[in-house]
Structure 1
Amino acid sequence: MTPLNKLTTTLKQTGLIKFLSHFAEQFSDIMLKDLSMASIGEDRKVDFLGKTVTNFGSDSFLGLDQDDRVKDALRNGIERWGSHNGASRAFSSVETNVLAEEKLAEWLGIEAVLIYPSVTLANVGAIPGLVGKQDIVVLDQHCHNSIQEGAKIAKANGSQVLFFEHCDPSSLAKVLQSAGKYRHALVAIDGIYSMSGVIPPLKELNKVCMDNNAILYVDDAHATGVVGTKGRGTVLDAVGNYENILLVGSLSKGFSCLGGFIGCTQEMKSLLLRHFIFRRI
């Protein structure tokens, strides 16, 4: 048995994998993630297992993936730019990327936006770039897995990672006040928790952050384009400004395209762009 085969065998014995494998065996007719759709049409209709059915599992919240205006814009973009930027964003930017960031920032009412290939890559890339060895990262215990993955990298780089009770400002205050001396604290939460639909008390959490030298980092992926005034998400209506908030949003759910972004100050955007190349100490 090769080392790769040994690793495969070991992974199959982990608790979550064993549970999911058992579940798939017992309920094979409802485990759809390993099956393929033959086509996708309008009104959430998909060809699946030889039948045309309605897709209630779509993450295209507004169905814009089938909107003629969106499809025309994509075709025009491919004709002008091809299928690839042609260079790493760390070295140069194509005009459309910059324009998209400017339009997103204007729409959100925030100073600047930096687009990433996905929300997951935004969280995994930005969180380690925001904190260092003298800093702490404090996570809501139910925050999205991609936030936790970003925090793991930050921890490997020397940051301390802590958790507070779900959507509980008093628990957050206790964690921050008992954390000892730190240079900066990054408090990471979801704007909407996708498994429950819960919206956290953003105003109260932000106040706790302000009182304890902490920045509030909100992954608003499931609210972008569909929740709040003009679809701008949960933060602005609840807090009224982004003065102490880093906002993460999605282009793949409400907007039915690809990508994620971080809303921040222009200065912070410049710093995050540098982190594409240089590791933060």
Structure 2
Amino acid sequence: MRGFAHLERELAQLREQGTFRRLLPLDSSQGARVKLNGREVIQLSSNNYLGLTTHPRLLAAAQQAVSEWGAGTGSVRTIVGTFALHEELERRLAAFKHSEAALVFQSGFTANVGVLSTLLAEQDVVISDEWNHASIIDGIRLTKAARRIYKHCDMNELEQVLKETQHYRTRLVVTDGVFSMDGDVAPLPELVELAERYDALVMVDDAHASGVFGRNGRGTVDHFALNGRVHIQVGTLSKAIGVLGGYVASTQTVRDYLIQRGRPFLFSTSHPPAVAAACLAALDVLLEESNLIDKLWENTRFFQEGLRQLGFSTGNSQSPITPVIVGESALALQLSDRLLEEGVLAQGITYPTVPKHAARVRTIVTAQHTREDLEMALAAFAKVGNELRLI
């Protein structure tokens, strides 16, 4: 079919540069080891931090929900697609996050887009960290509010922007709690103090902190003892929680307004009952099996120290997200390909996901990994790193 020649040329250029991305269909459920092309490999690229995607309690809850409630809901939430399970999940999430209310979206991406595109207008300004997630960036693009970007975690520049934006009705400072490509943590105590000093609102995206930081995995807001001082918390149910979806935890007013005006919420069919039930079971696991989070951090410390001792650059990671930064995109993908040949699945991340000349292989360890898994992965990194003259 004619009409896509310009797309074909761009794809050809990506192939020539060695940065064309291919999907890797797994032949197994997600876990510390997965099957790919008939081989078992060590998985270091999933967001399944606690191994909940296959936790028996989540599987049982999902199966029971299918039997009792059906495979789908048949409607959007605002017509007849709200089941008792959905509202129970939102009540539980609000209690878990120490907020007045919560609302579940179809994904973390739509949660960020829904909040930013809905709550702000021409009289407002959104102030965003330059390294925020793509869903925040796209949400900002959809809002009619003014926008200001401050340098990554630069509180001096943030303060200057706050001084310069006093005339707006609402000023919303938005930041990731944990930054998804570098694994560093936002300086939330300083950020919140600045926002309070200049009468601004704060929104924290805790996608990579939910289930990882804070008491029982409540996130960075709880980790820094800032409960009640952050106006909007956004997170996912598809990373450490192990299922699917996103949520907004805030006031009852914010929840009610998003139900009335949030386009991703209004125009998307609600989650299948199995998803809601599995998420509820995941909250029970977080509250009752804190040993999983302890194991996650034990594995993180061991693996990060191993990479650093080998001589790899891992940036400023303060979380289980550990980038192995190599610079050029083609080299990062070459490292990823060779690791896979050695039995380690660790995906290369290149521009535009990360800045040019900052390509890396991003690794994430989980609570499911054994010490043997991690030692074998480090041995593969050592072999390939020497071969490619990275260490």
TM-score, normalisation: structure 1: 0.87
Greater mean alpha carbon deviation, residues 246-255 or residues 203-212: 203-212
> CA–CA distance in 1 between the matches of 2:136 and 2:51?
27
**1:35 maps to 2:24:** yes
Matched, 1:130 2:119: yes
Does 2:233 correspond to 1:247? yes
Q: Label 1:19 to 1:181 Cα distance change in 2 as closer, same or farther (>3 A).
A: farther
- For residues 121-161 of structure 1, the C-alpha deviation after alignment (integer angstroms, 9 at most, x for no partner) is 0011111111001111111010011100000001xxx3111
Using the TM superposition, give the Cα deviation of residue 181 of structure 1 relative to its aligned residue in structure 2, in angstroms.
1.8
Structure 1 counterpart SS, 2:135 = helix
Partner of 1:49: 37
* Correspondent of 2:219 among 220, 233, 240: 233
In the TM superposition, residue 108 of structure 1 has moved relative to its aligned partner by 1.7
1:90–1:277 contact (8 Å) kept in structure 2: no
The amino acid that maps onto 2:119 is L
* 2:178/2:184 contact within 8 Å kept: yes
Q: CA deviation at 1:244?
A: 4.0
Deviations 1:150-181, CA, capped at 9 Å, x for gaps: 00001xxx311110011122211111212362
Distance 1:242 1:84 in 2: 35
Going from structure 1 to structure 2, the CA distance change for 1:51 and 1:244 (only over 3 Å counts) comes to closer
2:99 alignment counterpart: 110
1:220 CA drift (Å): 0.3
Residues 210 and 244 in structure 1, CA contact (< 8 A), matched pair in contact too: no
Out of 19, 22, 45, the position equivalent to 2:17 is 22
Match runs of 1:214-233 below 5 Å: 214-233=200-219
Question: What is the aligned residue count?
Answer: 263
Provide, for residues 65-111 of structure 1, a one-character-per-residue CA deviation record: whole Å limited to 9, x for no partner. 11111101001111122222222113341100000111111122211
Which structure has the higher relative contact order (CA within 8 Å, separation 6+)? 2
Moved over 3 A (4+): 17-21
Query: Residue type of the partner of 2:4?
Result: N
Aligned AA for 2:17?
Answer: H
SS of 2:160's partner is helix
Give structure 2 stretches of 5+ with no counterpart. 265-391
Asked whether the equivalents of residues 204 and 230 of structure 2 are also in contact (C-alpha less than 8 Å), the reply is no
Q: Against the structure 1 CA distance between its residues 46 and 100, is the aligned structure 2 distance closer, same or farther, given a 3 Å change threshold?
A: same
Secondary structure in 1 matching 2:45? coil
**Aligned match of 1:28:** none
TM-score by length of 2: 0.63
Distance in 2 (CA, whole Å) between partners of 1:273 and 1:94 is 15
CA separation in 1, counterparts of 2:237 and 2:183?
A: 19
- Of 256, 261, 276, the match for 1:275: 261
Q: Is the 8 A contact 1:90 1:276 kept in 2?
A: no
Q: What secondary structure does 1:40 align onto? A: coil
Q: Please give the alpha-carbon distance, in whole angstroms, between the structure 1 residues aligned to 2:118 and 2:16.
A: 36
Kindly indicate whether the alpha-carbon contact (under 8 Å) linking 1:133 and 1:159 is maintained by their aligned counterparts in 2: yes
| Structure 2 Cα separation of the partners of residues 181 and 19 of structure 1 | 45
Distance 1:217 1:277 in 2: 19
User: Are 1:97 and 2:83 matched, yes or no?
Assistant: no
1:45-65 deviation digits (Å, cap 9, x = unpaired): 211122111211111111111
Aligned mates of 1:62, 1:126 — CA distance in 2 = 27
Aligned-partner Cα distance in 2 for 1:20–1:125? 35
Give the superposition deviation at 1:277.
5.7
Q: Which amino acid aligns with 1:223?
A: A
C-alpha deviation, 1:6, in angstroms = 4.3
Query: What secondary structure is seen at the aligned counterpart in 1 of 2:123?
Result: coil
